[in-house]
């Protein structure tokens, strides 16, 4: 019980930092376990991303859209 004030401060610091380190390690482990459980039992359905060529071609050939784009370019260049 004859420890100096500096020794007590270092002991308290090491105990506090050790507690935080252990807590954060357990938190990372628990988050990883929860993530794997959710991924295993509730898989996310992924829809295939297939762009439709018909909609892309129709928007390029739309004269109203071409006029709007041309007007925006002309306004930007002035």
Quote the pLDDT of residue 12.
95
- The contacts of residue 59 (CB under 8 Å, 6+ apart) are 65
Farthest CA pair distance, the chain: 90
Q: What DSSP letter does each residue of 28-43 carry, written as one string?
A: HHHHHHHHHHHHHHSP
Residue for token pair 């628990």:
30
Cβ–Cβ under 8 Å, residues 37 and 31: no
Q: pLDDT tens across 19-76, in order?
A: 999 999 999 999 999 999 999 998 888 777 776 665 555 556 788 888 999 999 999 9
What is the b/e burial string over 46-59, where b = at least 16 CB atoms within 10 angstroms of the residue's CB?
Answer: eeeeeeeeeeeeee
Residue 18, pLDDT above cutoff 80: yes
Q: How many domains does the structure of the chain reveal?
A: 1
66 within some domain: no
Quote the pLDDT of residue 13.
97
Quote the pLDDT of residue 22.
98
21 within some domain: yes
67 within some domain: no
22 within some domain: yes
Domain that holds residue 20: 1-44
74 within some domain: no
23 within some domain: yes
């Amino acid at each position: 019980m004859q420890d100096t004030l500096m020794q007590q401060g270092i002991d308290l610091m090491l105990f506090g930092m050790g507690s935080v380190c252990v807590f954060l390690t357990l938190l990372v482990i628990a988050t990883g376990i929860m993530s794997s459980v959710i991924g295993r039992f509730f898989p996310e359905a992924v829809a295939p991303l297939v762009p439709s060529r018909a909609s892309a071609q129709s928007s390029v050939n739309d004269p109203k859209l071409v006029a709007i784009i041309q007007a925006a370019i002309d306004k930007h260049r002035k």
